[in-house]
Amino acid sequence: LLLKREILEKIGSLDDDYFLYFEDTDLSMRVRNLGYEIHYSDQAKVWHLNAGSSDGVGSSLHQYFQNRNRLIFFFRYGNWQVKLNVARVVFQLFTSQHYLDRKAALHFILHQWGKQPVI
């Protein structure tokens, strides 16, 4: 990521509400919402260990933070239809058999964002 200092001073840094996952997407949305363009290089090569910071895909950390942060992001930036869909997903997570799905939905509702104990 390359970003001019003046932009970062206007929008701030990565949002601690997310902790893991979606913080870079949120930063990009804030840049775009200020009227700046976002560009990428399709020639760049990046090797990324998917979910490497959260004990791998499907781990408790990965599942909880992906679910909770997805709700935060789409509720924050979505139109009313997207927000309605977020409410539907929250209900689905609340009725899930998996404890971490229910916890992610509850923490979203209670605004318990940022780094949270998962287990």
Q: Per residue in 4-35, pLDDT tens?
A: 999 999 999 999 999 989 999 999 999 999 99
Closest C-alpha to 19, from 96, 117, 88? 117
Give me the helices (H) in 12-98, please. Answer: 23-33, 60-77, 80-94
Q: Which two tokens stand for residue 68?
A: 């909770």
User: What pLDDT digit, counting tens, does each position of 28-68 carry?
Assistant: 999 999 999 999 899 988 877 676 677 667 778 888 999 99
CA atoms within 13 A of residue 2's CA, in its CB half-sphere: 5
